[in-house]
């Protein structure tokens, strides 16, 4: 473990100031090494308060520590400071024969994409950007409804850790107080020879504690935390994926329905480039919307919907 990582752990578990001398003694390094490590932490987006005769105190921010994450998750984790996209990282890992599951994390993304290839805003320090690679190796009809399972796991983890109650907008967006705080993108890879879905990559982007949003997003996007977070990003990541792997599929689907913004609501959707209005009757166990337009009932398996009352 690097010196700045060791200092981060010392500061994280110390509610008050800790002197540079004490840090140097605890870690058996020089005071100069302590100073350099503190600067490294600040360059990585952490706020460390320095006061003469008192020492250092961690005010905000956290680090991803590979060993701790792998211990809490019990599967491999790959971490990059900067990534074009964790979805791409996962695909590269897949091609190199990385085991599944493997979680790919990035402090920052430079070319993140959401559904329909849309650009996805990312921050250098205040977001969670990750992709999980799984190998279901099954027929398409047997593929689990991963998007709604991950959405449920995230919302449930947030509730357990913080008491904050979020909502889910079909099919892949997490909302808090009417604004989007997270999105999920699930991609499947199918074998031409066998017709099986061999691999699934689930991307998740979370606005954890971002200082500033672009002007065009400020009215529709927000953070999970408005003030200094009460948990670390590691806490949320580990809780979320542990819930995902340990909770029965049926329970996650039920929770998704309980947290749905669109269930039993009137929505609009596009069909052959025409906007139509419908009532949402149910959400199937595969995550499809059962809707009614006039006397006609049908299912929506993809696309985008809008709430009339939004």
Known binding residues are: 109, 180
Tokens describing residue 108: 């920052």
Tokens describing residue 197: 């879905």
Query: How many CB atoms neighbour CB 41 within 10 A?
Result: 20
Annotated binding site for biotin: 109, 180
Laid out side by side, the sheet with 179-190 consists of 77-83, 102-109, 127-134, 197-207, 179-190, 173-176, 167-169
Q: Output the CA–CA distances (angstroms, integers) from residue 242 to 27, 33, 103, 150, 294, in the order listed.
A: 32, 37, 12, 11, 42
Tokens describing residue 222: 């927000």
In angstroms, the CA 269 to CA 273 distance is: 9
In angstroms, the CA 214 to CA 295 distance is: 43
Tokens describing residue 142: 């047997």
SS (H, E, C) 103-121: EEEEEEECCCECHHHCECC
Question: What own/partner pairs with CB < 8 Å and gap ≥ 24 does 263-266 have?
Answer: 265/307, 265/308, 265/309, 266/307, 266/308, 266/309
In angstroms, the CA 107 to CA 86 distance is: 10
Is the bond preceding 101 in cis, omega lying within 30 degrees of 0?
yes
């Amino acid at each position: 473990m690097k010196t700045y990582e060791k200092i981060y752990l010392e500061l994280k578990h110390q509610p008050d100031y800790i002197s540079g001398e004490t840090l140097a003694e605890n870690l058996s390094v020089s005071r100069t090494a302590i100073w350099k490590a503190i600067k490294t932490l600040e360059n990585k987006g952490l706020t460390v308060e320095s006061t003469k005769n008192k020492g250092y105190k961690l005010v905000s921010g956290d680090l991803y520590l590979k060993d701790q994450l792998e211990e809490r998750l019990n599967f491999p984790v790959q971490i990059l400071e900067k990534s074009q996209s964790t979805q791409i990282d996962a695909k590269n890992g897949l091609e190199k024969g990385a085991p599944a599951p493997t979680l790919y994390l990035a402090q920052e993304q430079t070319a993140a994409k959401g559904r329909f290839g849309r650009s996805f805003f990312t921050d250098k320090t205040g977001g969670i950007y990750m992709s999980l690679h799984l190998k279901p190796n099954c027929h398409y009809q047997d593929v689990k409804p991963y998007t709604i399972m991950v959405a449920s796991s995230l919302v449930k983890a947030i509730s357990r850790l913080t008491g904050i109650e979020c909502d889910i907008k079909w099919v892949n967006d997490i909302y808090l107080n009417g604004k989007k705080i997270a999105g999920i993108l699930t991609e499947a890879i199918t074998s031409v020879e066998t017709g099986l879905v061999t691999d699934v990559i689930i991307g998740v982007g979370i606005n954890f504690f971002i200082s500033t949003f672009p002007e065009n997003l400020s009215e529709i996007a927000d953070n999970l935390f408005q003030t200094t977070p009460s948990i670390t990003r590691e806490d949320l990541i580990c809780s979320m994926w542990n819930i995902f792997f340990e909770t029965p599929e049926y329970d996650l689907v039920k929770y998704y329905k309980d947290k749905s913004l669109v269930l039993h609501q009137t929505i609009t959707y596009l069909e052959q480039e025409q906007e139509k209005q419908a009532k949402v009757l149910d959400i199937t166990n595969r995550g499809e919307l059962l809707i009614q337009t006039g006397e006609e009932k049908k299912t929506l398996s993809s696309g985008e919907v809008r709430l009339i009352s939004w």
